[in-house]
Structure 1
Amino acid sequence: MRETRTSRERAASRLSRLAAVLALGVSALLSSSGPAHAADPQPVDIPDYQAALDAVKSTAVRHSVCRFLSVPLPEAGSEGPQTIPEKADPCDGIPAFTLKDPLAVSEITPGFVAGTSPPVATEAVKLSHLVSSLSVAVGNRQATVMLAPTQGGGWHLSGVREGDSDAAFAGKAGPGSLVFAEPQIRGWYLLKVLTVEPLNDQARQGLDGRSSVSLSDYQKLVKTRYADKLPGSEYDIKGMSSGYSATAEGPSSPAPLLVGGSCAALLLAGSDFLVRRRRRGTTG
């Protein structure tokens, strides 16, 4: 009897250790192996992280933010372009500000949407871009810098957006979880291993009001929404859409697009700086 109990205890101990190892493995899959801070974990591995840090601290990015903040938000119903004030120093008259360390923003992948990739974290989402918000509001305004990956390595400015909601959502990720976006509906979600939870109203609507769904069920939802609108589809070829992966920011564009709110865009075009209003679709 004593030997039987000892054998059972050893078996239970081995099972307990195995469960702990598996749990750690899943957590490691969703957690960062890259740069992190003890009080502010960065759960997604960011390649060339130092280059991203250098970018948000660069003079060029700082000047772009200053230009953005130099133009007041367009009033409701206003039309036509607004010219950015011409100043030798774009930051002249702008209160001092700093940008927070960049955070990763992941998005659902075309393969996941098409149903050709399995419903697992490593196949469902991928790193899309980085966001860095102001550490403090400037003139009662917040702004978020968006960085896109540069071909060959590194990061470059792709736009500046009014507000800091993107960075706020991206910062909700933690050990064992990651945040991703469904940009077509501006939905933000938290992925915990194989469970998807909504972080905003758009995401809740995207889950048909449910508080959580399995990653497999979420795949079925986005497949229904977008599978027939992927690049190369009839929907795309006929020009009814710019393709599933296209967004208004256009991270591959050679000139940064600075977005102010949901329907005003600040475009950098050579030496001419204009603010133009534009409508954003929600179907990608």
Structure 2
Amino acid sequence: MSMLRKAMGVAALAGAAMLSTAGGASAGTGPTGAPTAADTAAIGQVTGAKATLDRLATTKFPGAHQAATANTATADPRTQVAVYEPTAAFVTGASDVPAALAYVAVPARTGDGTTATVWAERQGPAWTVVNVASGDYEQKYAAAAAGGYLLHEPQVNAWYAVRGDSVTVLAGSVTGLAAGTRLSLAEYRAALHERYADKLPGSAYDRDGAGGGYGGRERAVPAAEPGDVSVLPFVLGGVLVVVLAGGAVALPRLRRR
């Protein structure tokens, strides 16, 4: 059994008891920030706008092969995938709401025909394109979620389907758990608490700058607004080595900007 698997097991047992005084995660508790019909329309407009298509037309990912024929950069706003991430309040036991909306993914193609994904993020009252990423991972994970909402743990690039009180590990996730493994929300929160509770904003870990800073994010996660602590903000490579039970862990290649 791997060190990470052991760590998650210990967290699920010991952490669940510790968090019980703060109230267990309630079955059926949904995430916050789910896009409304107005949001969906606004996302469609911004991802289909000329500025976005121009950006796609000039985007080239390292290693991408030039298509044999000319292509037109496109984004398909009819297909939108909401991606949620755990909140700091959920990790600490201050809230039973497991996650908040991080970004909405829209499938696209660049000018050279490469499959891509446009990320739209709510910034204040408006929606903004914050990234053009390689691949269509969000679409594939959403299909695998089969009716559940899509939860991303960016610190370890893990993906889950959440349905009511059930958190299911999706194939391709870096969790130390087999695809299809199911945890209750309480068990999942206990594991998160074990990994991250002492690394949240304001902690000694944060003040000491052990992760090298909490500003810019790499491709694997969306950009955070300055001062926004609703989504866990530590994702740098050095942090991941510390978080994963003290063991050096091979991380997946980040998706290209």
TM-score range (shorter-chain normalised) is 0.5 to 0.7
Q: Would the aligned equivalents of 1:148 and 1:251 in 2 still touch at CA under 8 Å?
A: no
SS of 1:202 mapped into structure 2 = coil
Match of 1:150 in 2: 123
Q: 1:99 to 1:280 in 2, by over 3 A?
A: farther
The structural deviation recorded for 1:203 is 4.7
Match of 1:95 in 2: 71
Residue 104 of structure 2, aligned match among 126, 130, 151 = 130
Structure 2, unaligned runs of 5 or more: 1-26, 227-235, 244-257
Distance in 2, Cα, partners of 1:109 & 1:246: 18
Q: Would the aligned equivalents of 1:66 and 1:94 in 2 still touch at CA under 8 Å?
A: no
Higher RCO structure (Cα 8 Å, ≥6 apart): 2
Q: 1:140 to 1:45 in 2, by over 3 A?
A: closer
Deviations 1:171-217 (A, max 9, x none): 44454x21110011111000111011011333542x47771111100
Distance in 2, Cα, partners of 1:129 & 1:179: 11
Q: Does the alignment pair 1:117 with 2:66? A: no
RMSD of aligned Cα (Å) = 3.3
Q: Does the alignment pair 1:52 with 2:43? A: yes
Q: 1:216 to 1:49 in 2, by over 3 A?
A: same
SS of 2:173 mapped into structure 1 = helix
Letter paired with 2:135: G
Match of 2:12 in 1: none
Distance in 1, Cα, partners of 2:157 & 2:35: 23
Distance in 1, Cα, partners of 2:57 & 2:44: 18
The structural deviation recorded for 1:98 is 2.6
Structure 1, unaligned runs of 5 or more: 1-25, 35-43, 76-92, 254-278
Match of 1:217 in 2: 187
Q: Would the aligned equivalents of 1:189 and 1:203 in 2 still touch at CA under 8 Å?
A: no
Match of 1:39 in 2: none
The structural deviation recorded for 1:221 is 0.4
Number of aligned residues = 195
The structural deviation recorded for 1:56 is 1.0
Match of 1:273 in 2: none
The structural deviation recorded for 1:126 is 1.2
Match of 2:134 in 1: 162
Q: Would the aligned equivalents of 2:72 and 2:110 in 1 still touch at CA under 8 Å?
A: no
Match of 1:183 in 2: 154
Deviations 1:66-120 (A, max 9, x none): 121xx35159xxxxxxxxxxxxxxxxx95124322222111111111122223xx
Q: Would the aligned equivalents of 1:104 and 1:130 in 2 still touch at CA under 8 Å?
A: yes
Q: Would the aligned equivalents of 1:183 and 1:247 in 2 still touch at CA under 8 Å?
A: no
Distance in 2, Cα, partners of 1:50 & 1:227: 37
The 5 Å alignment of 1:1-284 reads 44-46=34-36, 48-68=39-59, 71-73=60-62, 95-101=71-77, 102-118=80-96, 123-134=97-108, 139=112, 141-151=114-124, 153-175=125-147, 177-205=148-176, 207=177, 211-241=181-211, 242-243=213-214, 247-248=217-218, 249-252=222-225, 283=240
Structure number with greater Rg is: 1
